[in-house]
């Protein structure tokens, strides 16, 4: 098996993965009272996957990734309010707008060190937040963009109060973009990203266009974050300045700390663990939930993620072996 075939085989789903996704899609039906939480987890998981593309595969540290989340949210909300309420078309429009913003911002991360990139990405989110605040005639300002009414998905599935349609809609978008992203990073083209991350000078010496790779992956990551923002605005019917907040970028960074970087599922796992811990702990002690999450992160670092997830990896290998035997 040559290197290309090994990369492509690693992009294929393992035996246990379809079962996990089937359980995720069954949750809104099995526990309809938690459908809104499932929808929220799917959206933040997509947001975390988008950050993992730039952090885990190219080493670009970003504290302003919420800029693309918010831009996609406002673009899709304005599209639904002033053009047409079709969710799929609005999702594509919000993703397209975030892609253009990512392409423009990618020029700013090609120069400087990690600290420079950190400040530039943070500054972009703050600029967009202030613009959304000042352009109150368009965005609603500090009151947010309200009254966003969405039509049925594909003309058939109406958004319900329980959030079941929203959950299935967001999960479907997450699954499609996750599969495409994993196929991309495990392609020969995507393999060069890790060379750029590990040693950009050596990658440049062997002929890899480093600046081109950084610009493309940053743009793609912006597109995924914009899609997450569009889903957020469409399923909640609301877009506010909060989507640009520093806390959004910090939370998604914590999700990757929990789940791990450089394997895409880290964003999904981190989003599930973080949101469940937030909801459970905040329900028990609303004032001190950040303390317990901080304590969990300390334990995670002290014990090591590898030790905590070792039983799950054993289960995955066992499932793969059984699937191969069948």
d(CA 31, CA 21): 16
pLDDT at 220 over 80: yes
At residue 315 the predicted structure's pLDDT band, cuts being 50, 70 and 90, is very low
pLDDT, mean of residues 246-266: 84
Specify the higher pLDDT residue, 287 or 312: 287
User: What pLDDT score was predicted for residue 267?
Assistant: 84
Per residue in 101-139, pLDDT tens?
Answer: 999 888 887 776 677 777 888 888 888 888 888 888 888
d(CA 274, CA 270): 6
Per residue in 152-200, pLDDT tens?
Answer: 888 777 777 777 888 889 999 999 999 898 888 888 887 888 777 777 7
User: What pLDDT score was predicted for residue 225?
Assistant: 92
Tokens for 241, please give them: 């300045």
Specify the higher pLDDT residue, 96 or 35: 96
Q: What is the pTM of this model?
A: 0.86
In whole angstroms, how far apart are CA 33 and each of 133, 136, 164, 178, 270? 34, 35, 9, 26, 22
| Helical axes 246-259 vs 289-303, angle rounded to 10° | 40
Domain ranges of the chain: 3-245
Specify the higher pLDDT residue, 277 or 71: 71
User: What pLDDT score was predicted for residue 144?
Assistant: 78
Arithmetic mean of pLDDT over the chain: 81
pLDDT, mean of residues 288-295: 78
pLDDT at 92 over 90: yes
User: What pLDDT score was predicted for residue 174?
Assistant: 93
DSSP secondary structure letters along 103-152 = HHHHTTSSSS-HHHHHHHHHHHHHHHHHHHHH-HHHH-GGG-B-------
At residue 224 the predicted structure's pLDDT band, cuts being 50, 70 and 90, is very high
Task: Return the percentage of the chain with pLDDT > 70, whole number.
Answer: 87
| Helical axes 289-303 vs 265-284, angle rounded to 10° | 140
Per residue in 55-70, pLDDT tens?
Answer: 888 888 888 888 999 8
Task: Return the percentage of the chain with pLDDT > 90, whole number.
Answer: 17
User: What pLDDT score was predicted for residue 320?
Assistant: 47
User: What pLDDT score was predicted for residue 323?
Assistant: 45
pLDDT at 309 over 70: no
């Amino acid at each position: 098996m040559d290197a290309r075939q090994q990369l492509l085989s690693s992009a294929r789903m393992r035996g246990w993965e379809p079962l996990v996704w089937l359980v995720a899609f069954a949750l809104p039906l099995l526990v309809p009272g938690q459908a809104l939480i499932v929808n929220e987890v799917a959206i933040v998981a997509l947001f975390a996957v988008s950050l993992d593309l730039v952090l885990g595969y190219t080493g670009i540290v970003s504290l302003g990734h919420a800029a693309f989340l918010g831009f996609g949210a406002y673009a899709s909300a304005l599209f639904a309010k002033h053009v047409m309420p079709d969710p799929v078309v609005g999702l594509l429009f919000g993703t397209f707008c975030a892609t253009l913003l990512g392409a423009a911002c990618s020029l700013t991360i090609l120069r400087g060190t990690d600290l420079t990139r950190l400040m530039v990405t943070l500054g972009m989110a703050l600029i967009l937040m202030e613009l959304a605040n000042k352009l109150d005639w368009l965005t609603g300002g500090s009151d947010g963009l309200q009254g966003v009414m969405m039509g049925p998905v594909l003309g058939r599935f109406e958004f319900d109060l329980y959030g079941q349609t929203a959950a299935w809609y967001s999960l479907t978008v997450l699954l499609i973009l996750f599969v495409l992203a994993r196929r991309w990073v495990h392609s020969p083209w995507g393999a060069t990203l890790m060379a750029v991350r590990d040693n950009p000078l050596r990658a440049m010496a062997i002929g890899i266009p480093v600046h081109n790779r950084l610009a493309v992956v940053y743009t793609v990551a912006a597109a995924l974050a914009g899609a997450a923002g569009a889903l957020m605005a469409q399923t909640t019917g609301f877009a506010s300045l909060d989507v640009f907040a520093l806390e959004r970028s910090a939370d998604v960074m914590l999700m990757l700390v929990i789940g791990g970087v450089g394997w895409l599922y880290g964003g999904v796992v981190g989003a599930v663990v973080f949101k469940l811990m937030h909801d459970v702990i905040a329900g028990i002690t609303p004032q001190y939930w950040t303390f317990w999450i901080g304590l969990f992160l300390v334990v995670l670092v002290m014990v090591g993620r590898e030790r905590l997830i070792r039983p799950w990896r054993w289960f995955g290998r066992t499932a793969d072996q059984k699937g191969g035997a069948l």
